[in-house]
Chain A
Amino acid sequence: MKLDPKIPSGPLEKKWDSHRMNLKLVNPANKRKYKVIVVGSGLGGGAASASLAELGYNVKCFCFQDSPRRAHSIAAQGGINAAKNYQNDGDSIKRLFYDTIKGGDFRAREANVYRLAQVSINIIDQCAAQGVPFGREYGGLLANRSFGGSQVSRTFYSRGATGQQLLIGAYSALSRQIGLGKVQMFPRTEMLDLILVDGHAKGIVTRNLVTGKIETHMADAVILGTGGYGNVFYLSTYARGSNATAIWRAHKKGAGFANPCFTQIHPTCIPVSGDYQSKLTLMSESLRNDGRCWVPKAVGEKRAAHEIPETDRDYFLERMYPSYGNLAPRDIASRAAKRVCDEGRGVGPGGLGVYLDFAEAIQRLGEKTVRERYSNLFDMYHEITGENAYQQPMRIYPAIHYTMGGLWVDYNLMSNIPGLFVLGEANFSDHGANRLGASALMQGLADGYFVIPYTIGDYLANQKQKTPATDCPEAQAAEKAVREEIKQLLSINGTKTINEYHKELGKILWDHCGMARNKTGLTKAISLIQALREDFWKNVKVPGDSNNLNQSLEKAGRVADFLELGELLCRDALEREESCGCHLREEYQTEEGECQRNDEKFAHAAVWEYKGKNQIPVRHTEQLTYEEIHLTTRSYK
């Protein structure tokens, strides 16, 4: 596997400018001769589809949801970072760049992150021009809030529904292009395979989720903006439909999968209430601007929160990390919460929870102000738990929220398969071993609006051949394989439901590859997953047939992929014998329980090559070279 990151030469701050000058262009009259497939309609895919169509390319956009407006980007709550320095508090492109690299525990590619910080500024302008109703001050200028891992206020927001508003912005731009006939939209359509012709990505096989029809679509390039794979854990803050099928099947066709073990656990989610639970709901990190995390000092405390006096409370984040306090980064805050719960000081059912308390903020600002800032989050908390967080502290616990790993891409966002581009959470590029809050929206939109429109031209300009036909042998072979797998899934007719397998897989991963990992546990998890996968293909029950709307069949295919990906996740965690960001190996930690990196051996991205069914995959590396930054031990104390 050849991994050339194609990082432009020259000083960091000039790389993107000079690279853009060196990229080949496709002239406007020729753009309309090219077809581009975009899978996914969220911030990455939706923004890319709209922007490429505006340039004149013919775009086909696919999503499994019933409308592109429902992509899971919509659920992001708190905000989007940008180095605008509107607050005059010392922010700059370089500071956002540095915070992101440091937040990722020095495991991201410098050049990509610097570019991300550069274009962050344009994103806010673009979204405001589209009519995104950002929060504003009385003078009419944009407001900011603070987020974890940063000491400046650079987060733009639309109350607690920033993702929704940004997605509606991208969706409206996309809708405009659909109306103009430049984008052909395929909702309720799932990508089931990638088609390679002469080693280049030239098409996809899809299933129409309403009619069951299997179809082949060919193009000059394929873009995946299909999100992360956190649902491999079953319980997560992802939408129920979020899946890894597109990226996993591309991986099986040769795309390198980078850093699968970098999975983020968000500290502030509503705790699990029972085994029927289908998903976990996030309470935005922005709440930690005003909410204080605490647990009782005493093990086995029985009193209700309001009966516990200040002297008997442990505001553990403020105690452990005085300079960042409640705004410590997510990996750090999650582990701190786990630690106090492991000590037996957790609150709520099963002791798996900590308090997030707004009493002090309400006293300082008044309930009205707190309501203005967070009312929809407090409402959501009330809907789910039936508790009023204005009167009693919220109970929160960490949950799987984001995956930093994903398909490997070069500086142009192209995978090692020529013509296959990967955007947003689906790629691995910008967040290293831990993503900072309010940076996912930034990356999705950066990739979709401001990177891919430039870099795809360079690839297409070199593609002289015409789009391959839908009945070319490669397409027919891929279609046949898809049909056979569907047939096989439906023919097993075993005794266990798909959900049962998914839950079991999730439990294995959460127990052995969750917030803390070790060699014994990971080795065990790999054999447990292998056995579970074998059993799945013998004993799963997928009801119905394939020629109509069959939600069980959709789920079965996705869980089959998760059963393979889950193993790779554990292998990657096992091979990375260090702790960094969200990846904590118990063998490699300081006495205080903080991450102990091993820069000599592991300052690289691990990129996995698929070697066939039940074969051991091969681990390649991309060495991360730091020109600008000195690797230091991350400290938020």
Chain B
Amino acid sequence: MNFKLKVWRQADHTSSGSFETYEANNVNANQSFMEVLDVVNDDLTKAGKEPIAFDHDCREGICGTCSCVINGEPHGPEDKVTSCQVYMRSFQDGETITVEPFRAKPFPILKDLVTDRSAFDKIIQAGGFISVNTGQAPDANALPIGRETAELAFDAAHCIGCGACVAACKNSSAMLFVSAKVTHLGLLPQGQPERNRRSLKMVEVMDAQGFGGCTNTGACEAVCPKGIPLEFISRLNRDYITASLMERPESE
């Protein structure tokens, strides 16, 4: 198969970028999209040009590093997969494929397709945890958790923190990401003591990082590689409202 790749090139955060077009010929249908970028990059290197910078690591859809907008869709055309799990059989021979970074104000572009998503880490640092020091835990079976609850908690905890939800949202909202963590920990008995505090703190930092509000379009759910459902956002909203009513302001 032969393709044209229209790729966003940008030197750094402060420069302005533009599209460049490259050819990728003799591509195997079972080649992954990232492997096509590898080949294009080797060609660019040999031609004395600078290769395309793009984020990727595990190449099996779990680390959450890869983050391309392919033909206008975060993570590309296939359902529930990351950019690294897009294979060329998903495209038409001869097609021009447009490749861009995740675009959102809280994710500044560092170079080409690489963005800075550390805003997500800051949200987790504000409250995406259960405060338990090493060595303090009781026996694991001392706290039974119903299977259905544990499975639902897993569904939420399966979020890979890639940021596709933010990239797909017209408001660059991080509500799906935050709701996944709030749901995961809020479903479990261990997570109850900090439940109110958690949703308040995480939402506070989410806002401070510049993520927009949620207007329920569901674009996030549609692109989430791990199928995190919109329903979790309602859980977050419920938790947040309850917490707002119950929590007393912290004295400075």
Contact = CB atoms under 8 A, between A and B. Distances in A.
A172 B46 contact: no
B106 interface: no
Contacts of B62: 74-75, 161, 163-164
Interface in B34-70: 34-36, 38-39, 42, 44-46, 48-51, 53, 55-65
User: Most chain-A Cβ atoms within 10 A of its Cβ — which of B49, B51, B59, B60?
Assistant: B60
Contact of B55 (A66, A131, A449): A66
Q: Which 7 A-B pairs have the closest CB atoms?
A: A140-B144, A129-B137, A172-B129, A179-B125, A128-B140, A125-B137, A133-B154
B212 interface: no
Given A65-B57, A66-B116, A543 B51 contact: yes
Contacts of A277: 35
B61 A142 contact: no
Contact of B111 (A132, A500, A548): A548
Interface residues of B, number: 80
B217 interface: no
Interface in B73-130: 78, 80-81, 85, 87, 89, 110-111, 114, 116-118, 120-121, 124-126, 128-130
A131 B44 CA distance: 46
Interface stretch (B24-32, B168-176, B230-238): B24-32
B248 interface: no
Interface stretch (B1-9, B185-193, B239-247): B185-193
A273 B51 CA distance: 25
Interface of A: 47, 50-51, 54, 65-70, 72, 74-75, 84, 86, 122, 124-142, 158-159, 161, 163-165, 168, 171-173, 175-176, 178-179, 185, 187, 210, 239-241, 273-274, 276-279, 281-282, 379-380, 383-386, 449-450, 453, 495, 497, 499-500, 541, 543-544, 548-549, 551-552
B45 A70 contact: no
User: Most chain-A Cβ atoms within 10 A of its Cβ — which of B55, B121, B143?
Assistant: B121
A141 B110 contact: no
B146 A499 contact: no
A133 B137 contact: no
A69 B56 contact: no
Nearest to B143: A128
A385 B87 CA distance: 9
Contacts of B44: 543
User: Most chain-B Cβ atoms within 10 A of its Cβ — which of A133, A135, A383?
Assistant: A133
A383 B85 contact: yes
A273 B28 contact: yes
A70 B137 contact: no
A543 B49 contact: yes
11 contacts: A54-B134, A66-B117, A131-B185, A134-B140, A140-B150, A239-B57, A240-B57, A282-B60, A383-B78, A383-B81, A497-B42
A386 B121 contact: no
Given A67-B118, A172-B124, A541-B46, A164 B158 contact: yes
B56 to A, nearest CB: 6
A138 B188 contact: no
A541 B48 CA distance: 9
B87 A383 contact: yes
B150 A136 contact: yes
B136 interface: yes
Given A54-B134, A138-B146, A386-B30, A72 B63 contact: yes
B240 to A, nearest CB: 19
B118 A124 contact: no
B146 A549 contact: no
B12 interface: yes
Contact of B141 (A54, A75, A141, A158): A141
Given A66-B116, A129-B130, A277-B35, A168 B87 contact: no
A384 B38 contact: no
Contacts of A47: 134
B88 to A, nearest CB: 10
A134 B38 CA distance: 37
Contacts of B56: 240
B235 to A, nearest CB: 15
A241 B65 CA distance: 11
A499 B145 CA distance: 48
A70 B85 contact: no
Given A67-B118, A158-B154, A175-B124, A383 B61 contact: yes
Contacts, number: 223
Given A165-B157, A278-B38, A129 B65 contact: no
Contacts of A142: 140-141
A135 B150 contact: yes
A271 to B, nearest CB: 11
Contacts of A127: 140
B55 A51 contact: no
B131 interface: yes
A66 B53 CA distance: 14
A53 to B, nearest CB: 10
Contacts of A282: 60
A74 B158 contact: no
B249 interface: no
Nearest to A372: B151
Given A54-B134, A549-B111, A124 B140 contact: yes
Contacts of A548: 11-12, 111
A162 to B, nearest CB: 11
Given A173-B134, A276-B31, A549-B12, 19 more contacts: A51-B133, A125-B140, A129-B132, A129-B140, A131-B190, A158-B157, A163-B62, A172-B130, A175-B124, A176-B129, A210-B116, A239-B57, A278-B34, A383-B61, A383-B87, A386-B30, A386-B87, A495-B46, A541-B46
A173 B130 CA distance: 8
A125 B139 contact: yes
A444 B142 CA distance: 25
B89 to A, nearest CB: 6
Contact of B50 (A69, A126, A179, A544): A544
A499 B42 contact: yes
A129 B63 contact: no
B192 to A, nearest CB: 11
B42 A278 contact: no
B213 to A, nearest CB: 24
B57 A168 contact: no
B26 to A, nearest CB: 9
Nearest to B160: A164
A278 B57 contact: no
B180 to A, nearest CB: 11
A543 to B, nearest CB: 5
A141 B55 CA distance: 39
Contact of B161 (A69, A131, A165): A69
A274 B27 CA distance: 10
A210 B112 CA distance: 12
A140 B148 CA distance: 9
A140 B125 contact: no
User: Most chain-A Cβ atoms within 10 A of its Cβ — which of B28, B48, B129?
Assistant: B129
A276 B39 contact: yes
A240 B38 CA distance: 12
A274 B125 CA distance: 42
A74 B63 contact: yes
Contact of A134 (B12, B34, B46, B150): B150
A495 B48 CA distance: 9
A278 B46 CA distance: 19
